[in-house]
Amino acid sequence: MAILVTGGAGFIGSHTVVQLLENNQEVIIVDNFYNSSADVLDKIRTIANKDFKFYEYDITCKEQMDEVFRDNDIEAIIHFAGYKAVGESVEKPLMYYSNNLVSTFVLCEMMEKYGCKRFVFSSSATVYGKPASVPIKEDFPLSTTNPYGTTKLMTERILTDIQFAHPDWSIALLRYFNPIGAHKSGLIGENPKDIPNNLMPYILKVASGELECLNVFGDDYDTHDGTGVRDYIHVVDLARGHVLAINKVMNSSGVHIYNLGTGKGYSVLDIVNNFERATGIKIKYKITDRRPGDIDECYADTAKAKEELGFVAEADIDEMCKDGWNFVMHNK
């Protein structure tokens, strides 16, 4: 019985596949390399010292996905694949709604046709919008301010409705906070192809000299130093959260919603200072205008994931910074 991992060559997907393989799970990856590269596949094999099946297919293509399900005994799906750039989603909403929603429709149709009943979805803390308070609990109100976030919210609702029609299905909705860091080997990590939207990949490119200066998007937020506060979680901890979620959906039915974060908030300048302390590398920055849509503070209440999954993030910010930089040094 195999676990199908869509987007398994991506940043979070590849780290999750490593841990599934290390746990002796049979894994099938479907990835079209839209936001990843083929060399990650052999790096996963090297780290885990295990093999897996791979299909360079498009998960929105029903014929291709029918072949994958027909030719394999798929017990569960972890669905990472999707477009994820907030700014791009505002410019190209149809591309985001089409890709991110049709992929879920196709997967659920395959589940119905082939009797697969377990689904773990890569959601995001972005579904909380601007929270009325922090830390954020899973039962907080949901609202989104950009098409990317709305595809996550819509997918959660679609999956919830489908599970209601299939009471024996088990679905986990994992709301990530801000994943950073990389596997200790330095072989896999976050490797954006163009100028990064997110803070840590941008800092890493400034540290490597690829970019000249970090733009700090506003210092007038209602936070301890005026810069935006987020909950940064090590990608290896996040991957472990998926392994625990797979165990949960294998032994349950219903819809299970979990925050995957550390429960700690760090500001932009906290991250810059911690990165400089962890690596000894000075990060040049300047304060610029706010980025539209950004919120003041966002960090997780982690109690439910701890109680129901046994999930507790372990890595501290120093480790996240060091491991992220180690990946860059290994891939210069």
- Enumerate residues 219-248 that contact ligand WQD by CB under 6 A: 228, 230
Q: Which is nearer to ligand WQD, 140 or 169 (CB)?
A: 140
Q: Which of 93, 208, 217, 319 contacts ligand WQD by CB under 6 A?
A: 217
* Residue showing tokens 């980025």: 291
Q: What is the DSSP code string of 208-273?
A: TTSSS-EEEE-S-SSSSSSS-EE-EEEHHHHHHHHHHHHHHHHT--EEEEEEES-S--EEHHHHHH
How many residues sit close enough to ligand WQD to count as binding (CB under 6 A)?
Answer: 17
Q: Which two tokens stand for residue 321?
A: 């910074």
* Cα–Cα distance for residue pair 189/181, rounded to 1 Å: 7
Nearest distance from C-beta of residue 329 to ligand WQD, angstroms: 21
Under the binding rule (CB under 6 A), the answer on residue 187 touching ligand WQD is no
Give the interface segment with ligand WQD, choosing from 48-56, 91-99, 197-205, 256-264 (CB under 6 A). 197-205
- Enumerate residues 115-154 that contact ligand WQD by CB under 6 A: 124, 126
Catalytic pick from 55, 128, 148, 258? 148
Give the interface segment with ligand WQD, choosing from 2-10, 25-33, 96-104, 198-206 (CB under 6 A). 198-206
* Cα–Cα distance for residue pair 26/74, rounded to 1 Å: 9
Under the binding rule (CB under 6 A), the answer on residue 86 touching ligand WQD is yes
Of the candidates 112, 75, 80, 116, which has an alpha carbon nearest to the alpha carbon of residue 247?
75
Under the binding rule (CB under 6 A), the answer on residue 199 touching ligand WQD is yes
* Residue showing tokens 């304060």: 287
- Enumerate residues 283-312 that contact ligand WQD by CB under 6 A: 291, 294
> Is 239:16 a contact under the CB 8 Å cutoff?
yes
* Cα–Cα distance for residue pair 308/253, rounded to 1 Å: 14
User: Would you give the DSSP letter of residue 174?
Assistant: E
148 is catalytic: yes
Q: Which of 64, 160, 215, 247 contacts ligand WQD by CB under 6 A?
A: 215
Binding mask of the shown chain, residues 24 to 63, with x at each position contacting ligand WQD by CB under 6 A: ----------------------------------------
Q: Which two tokens stand for residue 117?
A: 């009943």
Nearest distance from C-beta of residue 267 to ligand WQD, angstroms: 8
Collapse the DSSP code of 179 into the 3-class scheme (helix H, G, I; strand E, B; otherwise coil) and give the result. Answer: strand
Give the catalytic positions in this structure.
148
- Residues in the site for ligand WQD, rule: CB under 6 A? 84, 86, 124, 126, 178, 197-199, 202, 215-217, 228, 230, 268, 291, 294
